[in-house]
Amino acid sequence: MKYKAAWLAVGWVLASMATQAAPREQRPAGDFDFYVLSLSWSPTFCLAHPNNEQCSGKGYGFVLHGLWPQYARGGWPASCDTQSRLSADELAKGALIFPTQALLKHEWSKHGTCSGLEATRYLQATDAALATVQIPQQLQPFNVPGHLEAREIEALFRESNPAMGNHGVAVICKGKVLSEVRVCLSKELRFAGCPKSVKTQCRDGDIRIPVQR
């Protein structure tokens, strides 16, 4: 009986370890709930990456970070087809949307391959998503105040996009500095309410909005 109990205990431990080591299940490409359109505030990125191609005096404000398939309960699919590569024509089309080719390739590999769309259609969807969101006039490059509260940035986006609703945008900060704005969109690229997994991540009070130099 002692040996039997010991073997049962060992079996339970091994089963427990296997359960903990099992990777999180990922749905097939195209099986997701909504998109997040991520817009990066370029001057903040360039503070940390001054030699990046994006930061060569082009005067960017918000630039496309990516169009990300998401799960409503939190999390997202990633790198669904690591063998998929962009053609020369697709690279050329993507260059009109993304600030750098390196970012384009990364975003297609990590997020675009999980959209269930071919590369050309994913780029078209990304372009359409960008056209859906109007950047507030107060947040155009060289026209920004030095500081705003996150809730004020949210309000500006809602005012410029009346169909967005009260919970369709999130502001992301790095420390006390504006980093990104994320907009929730349906799979049909209409404004959608963000679930709890997509929320503003900034401290209370004013946050700094760097300007491009």
Domain of residue 136, CATH code: 3.90.730.10
Greater confidence (187 vs 13) lies with: 187
Q: What is the pLDDT of residue 26?
A: 80
36: closest CA among 76, 96, 7, 78? 76
Tokens of 116: 């269930």
Say what the pLDDT of residue 1 is: 45
| 10: confidence class by pLDDT, cuts 50, 70, 90 | very low
Residue 155 resides in a domain: yes
Domain around 136? 30-208
**Is 10 part of a structural domain of the chain?**
no
Q: Would residue 20 count as lying in a domain? A: no
8 Å CB contact between 62 and 41 = yes
Of residues 151 and 212, more confidence is placed in 151
Mean pLDDT of 55-80: 94
Q: Could you tell me if residue 3 is inside a domain?
A: no
Give me the catalytic one of 53, 65, 154, 180: 65
Looking at residue 212, what is its pLDDT? 73
Contacts of 71 (CB under 8 A, 6+ apart): 27, 32, 33, 77, 197
pLDDT score recorded for residue 23: 36
Identity of the amino acid at 146 = G
Residue 22 located in a structural domain:
no
Known catalytic residue at 111? yes
Q: Is 191 helix (H, G, I), strand (E, B) or coil?
A: strand
pTM: 0.86
The total domain count for the chain is: 1
For the question of residue 65 being annotated catalytic, the response is yes
Q: How much is the average pLDDT of 79-103?
A: 94
pLDDT score of 162 more than 60? yes
The reply to whether 213 falls in a domain is no
Note whether residue 128 is domain-resident.
Answer: yes
pLDDT of residue 29: 87
205 pLDDT tier (thresholds 50, 70, 90): very high
> Of 30, 96, 107, 94, which is closest to residue 65 (Cα–Cα)?
107
Catalytic choice (53, 90, 106, 107): 107
Alpha-carbon distance 64 to 173, whole Å?
Answer: 16
Residue 149 lies in a domain: yes
Return the pLDDT at 27.
86
- The answer on pLDDT for 110 being more than 60 is yes
The Cα–Cα gap between 204 and 12 comes to: 47
What percentage of the chain has pLDDT greater than the value 90? 78
